[in-house]
Amino acid sequence: MRDFALSIVISLLYKYPYIQTIIMLIFNGVMLSYLLILRPLIDFLDSLHQLICEFIVFGVNIGVLLLASFDENGVEEKQNRKEIGSFLIIANLVFNFLGLLVMLTKLGIFIFRNGKRLFAKTKKKKNSTRRNWSKVVFRRRFDEK
């Protein structure tokens, strides 16, 4: 629902980036409040991952708000724009690698908890009934002749 609302804001207010960014910050603040107060996720790792991602998105939205305010006021601060752009790139990398780190951590926890079952050597049981069955069939055939 949040993504739908953000898509509507982006598509309808494309001429007003400053207002777009303010609305996105409001959505982000509501989501952060929801995650901090209600704690909807049961798993601690999932909850921590979602919270960190929301803080990263909040920082990105603040950076975009600064860039939009520069555009709105006609400020030509090239150095500040470069620094904000570098921050946005680093935040994007952290966001992506954080997802990879969480997946690898979950995989490690799964292997740690289920390692004995996953890597245990299984002994092949000799199926004596099958062997005995074949002996019985062959004996009956030979006995009948």
Note the pLDDT tens digit of each residue in 120-135: 766 555 555 555 655 6
Cα–Cα distance, 101 to 49 (Å, whole number): 10
**Of 44, 50, 52, 65, whose CA–CA distance to 109 is shortest?**
44
137 pLDDT above the threshold of 60: no
Q: What's the confidence (pLDDT) of residue 123?
A: 59
pLDDT, the chain, mean: 86
pLDDT band at 102 (very low <50, low <70, confident <90, very high): very high
64 Cβ contact partners less than 8 Å away, ≥ 6 residues apart: 17, 21, 24, 88
Taking a C-beta distance cutoff of 8 angstroms, is the pair 63, 84 a contact?
yes
For 13, residues 6+ apart whose C-beta sits below 8 A from its C-beta are 19, 20, 23
pTM listed for this prediction: 0.74
The structure tokens 């929301």 sit at 54
pLDDT at 76: 87
Q: Which residue has the higher pLDDT, 99 or 127?
A: 99
CA angle 1, 107, 49 (to 5 degrees): 35
Show the CA angle centred on residue 48, arms to residues 42 and 49, nearest 5°.
105
Q: If we measure between CA atoms, which residue out of 84, 29, 83, 89 comes closest to residue 55?
A: 29
Q: What is the pLDDT of residues 44-58, one digit of tens each?
A: 999 999 999 999 999
pLDDT reported for residue 62: 96
What pLDDT is stored for residue 119 in this prediction?
76
Mean pLDDT (whole number) for 27-54: 94
Task: State which of 6-15, 93-102, 130-139 shows the largest mean pLDDT.
Answer: 93-102
